[in-house]
Chain A
Amino acid sequence: MTAEYRPDWRPAASTGMLQLRARIVSRLRAFLDNQGVLEVETPLLSHCAATDVHLRSLATRYTGPGAPGGRTLYLHTSPEYPMKRLLAAGSGSIYQLCKAFRDGESGRLHNPEFTLLEWYQVGDDHHALMGRIAALVGDALYGLLDLAPAETITYREAFLHYAGVDPFTDAAALIDWAHRHGLGPPDTAGALPAGDLDGWRDLVLTHAVEPNLGRGRLVFVHDYPASQAALACVRPGIPPLAERFELYLEGVELANGYHELADAPELGRRFDTDLERRRVLGLATVPRDERLLAALAAGLPDCSGVAIGIDRLIMLAAGARAIDSVLAFPLERA
């Protein structure tokens, strides 16, 4: 038998791409270190997992001292929960560069294991943090991409401008929009239940809005529907709006951030709502992070936080089309 030749032993990313990655990561670190933001590390493996119905945690098992019969541990989908515990314990502003893991996500812009920069700035609301992020990303891309000044647009304005439909009407208007654009029932996105307003919003967002966002500049979309608040504060009003934002560049979602919810009972209710939806949808149920709830009850300082997708940032800096080209060993070669 001759040894089988496996060309896929080679990295997917070129050496130049690895050098670009190192340069961008070191610039991000330098920027945050200069601002006095403390770099921290938190566990990748945790007893609890994100409850968000659109996030699927990878689970593994630990068996050994302390767990003779073995116990389930989840690979985090982001370091949000333990970092908030650090904030509640008085860490001040912190950041972390780490891997995050999401089951079920693989494609041109997705790898189930990816690099996140998670950053919490104490005392900032979401608008203040958006300004800092524009400076951080602008600095990391300096000399690589020539960008116009960053802009902000509300979620509603973005829908009206690029898709011509108001996301705060009912699902029927969005279904009608999808139908008129050849995306609607019966056999395609029709598998989305008519009552799944956020699902229809996501259909319009991904097909008609996102591809137009951030052409030649950073664009922050903010003021999301309250139903998409995740862990953001909700500002009362008609309609109530989540103090959440997303950053786009060249049609690619680069970051997601919140003016962080600090209300422990409200967080508990959101966890329970998520878990109930998981039950209805037949998704895996996960344990609530009671330690995070306790941390919020003890007092989370007013802060805003963001998670920035570093692989996508490098991809855009390099003018690459797919995330695989900036990863040494994407899923297929891992």
Chain B
Amino acid sequence: MTTYSTNEFKPGLKVMLDGDPCSIIENEFVKPGKGQAFNRVKIRNLKTGRVIERTYKSGDTMEGADVIDIEMQYLYNDGEFWHFMNPESFEQIAADHNAVGDAAKWMKEQDTCMVTLWNGVPLSVEPPHTVVLKIVETDPGVRGDTSGGGGKPATLDTGAVVRVPLFVQVGELVKVNTRTGEYISRAKE
């Protein structure tokens, strides 16, 4: 197993802490001029998302976590699991609700998502930054309104609800920012 010394600590490094895979967020070197050096580290637990602070004696090591980010194609949901395929190896994996989380409401079949795997098992799924989805339900807009000011809620074909301008109608495609959940524009097929 890979181990990392404090000299290798940097934001983004994946390490094991208390049996869970974690990612280093911040690493500060602290040393009295004539004393022991320490590394004060902020670490995010990749399973729970919790951020914790730890201090290591400089020169200490942490076990690396076999965590990789890989682009995968979302195939389908069987009611319990979301299935993804590696477009290069055609290998398929199934992610549970804990891993998919909020990404579920943005994912459409065939979309390419970033799947974080720990020892080959999905830890988390990130949808594309922007997605194009179809409006399945929204109030009829006011004719002539093109400004988009105010807006109205619209339900998309994945189940997500976003605010759209009044002129956007059921059956239309819209481009949405998945990070903020905000409408960007109308879209064509």
B82 within 8 A of A: no
CA distance A106 to B10 in the complex (A): 13
Interchain CB contact under 8 A, A206 and B29: no
Rounded to whole angstroms, the CA-CA distance of A183 and B40 in the bound complex is 10
Say whether B13 faces chain A, with CB atoms less than 8 Å apart: no
* Residues 44-73 (chain A) with a chain B CB within 8 angstroms: 52, 54-55
A114 to chain B, nearest CB (A): 11
- Of the candidates A198, A246, A307, the one whose C-beta lies within 8 Å of that of B36 is A198
Beta-carbon contacts under 8 Å, A199-242 to B: 199, 201-203, 205-207, 210, 228, 230
Asked if B29 and A203 sit within 8 Å, CB to CB, the answer is no
Contacts of B187 in A (CB 8 A): none
- How far, in whole Å, are A18 and B129 apart by their CA atoms in the complex? 42
In-complex Cβ contact of B55 among A189, A198, A246 (8 A): A189
Query: Quick one: closest A residue to B40, CB to CB?
Result: A207
Q: How many residues of A contact B (CB 8 A)?
A: 34
Per-residue 0/1 for B40-60: is the Cβ within 8 Å of any A Cβ (1 yes, 0 no)? Answer: 100000000000011111101
A189-B55, A189-B56, A192-B57 known; A108 vs B28 contact (CB < 8 Å): yes
Determine the distance from Cα of A182 to Cα of B57 in the docked complex, in whole angstroms. 14
State whether the Cβ of B79 lies closer than 8 Å to any Cβ in chain A: no
Q: Any chain B CB within 8 A of the CB of A152?
A: no
The residue in chain B whose Cβ has the minimal distance to the Cβ of A255 is: B33
Q: Does B30 contact A (CB under 8 A)?
A: yes
**Contact for B56 among A191, A196, A206, A246, CB less than 8 A:** A191
- The answer, yes or no, to whether A105 is at the interface (CB within 8 Å) is yes
Interface of chain B residues 26 through 84 with chain A (CB within 8 A): 28-38, 40, 53-58, 60
Closest to A186 in B: B18
* B17 in contact (CB, < 8 A): yes
- Distance between A223 CB and nearest chain B CB, rounded to angstroms: 15
Asked if A205 and B28 make an inter-chain contact with CB atoms under 8 angstroms apart, the answer reads: no
A182 to B53, CA, bound (A): 8
- Count, A-B residue pairs, CB within 8 A: 77
Instruction: Decide if the interface of chain A is mainly helix, strand, loop or mixed.
Output: mixed
Give Cα A188 to B38, complex, Å: 10
Q: Looking at the assembled complex, report how far the CB atom of A143 sits from the nearest CB atom of chain B, in whole angstroms.
A: 28
Q: Are B33 and A206 in contact (CB under 8 A)?
A: no
Beta-carbon contact of A206 and B38 below 8 Å = yes
Q: B36, A192: Cβ atoms under 8 Å?
A: yes
Report the minimal beta-carbon distance from B175 to chain A, rounded to whole angstroms.
33
Q: When the two chains form their complex, are residues A107 and B28 in contact, meaning their CB atoms are under 8 A apart?
A: yes
Q: Taking CB as reference atom, which chain A residue is nearest B32?
A: A202
Confirm or deny: A104 has a beta carbon within 8 angstroms of a beta carbon on chain B.
yes
Knowing A52-B34, A202-B36, A228-B35 touch, does A188 contact B55 (C-beta < 8 A)?
Answer: yes
Q: Does A243 contact B (CB under 8 A)?
A: no
Digitize A244-279: 1 where CB-to-B-CB distance is under 8 Å, 0 elsewhere.
Answer: 001000000100100000000000000000000000
Confirm or deny: A290 has a beta carbon within 8 angstroms of a beta carbon on chain B.
Answer: no
Report if A187-B17 is in contact (Cβ < 8 Å); known contacts: A199-B57, A203-B55: yes
Inter-subunit contact A189/B58 (CB<8 Å): no
A188-B55, A189-B38, A203-B55 in contact; A110/B60 too (CB < 8 A)?
no
With a 10 A CB-CB cut-off, give which of B18, B28, B35 has the most chain A CB atoms: B35
* Cα of A307 to Cα of B33 in the assembled complex, Å: 10
Q: Within residues 109 to 128 of chain A, which ones have a CB less than 8 A from any CB in chain B?
A: 109-110
Binding site for A on B (CB under 8 A): 7, 17-18, 28-38, 40, 53-58, 60
The 6 A-B residue pairs with the shortest CB-CB distance in the complex, in nearest-first order: A107-B29, A202-B36, A202-B35, A191-B57, A199-B36, A191-B60
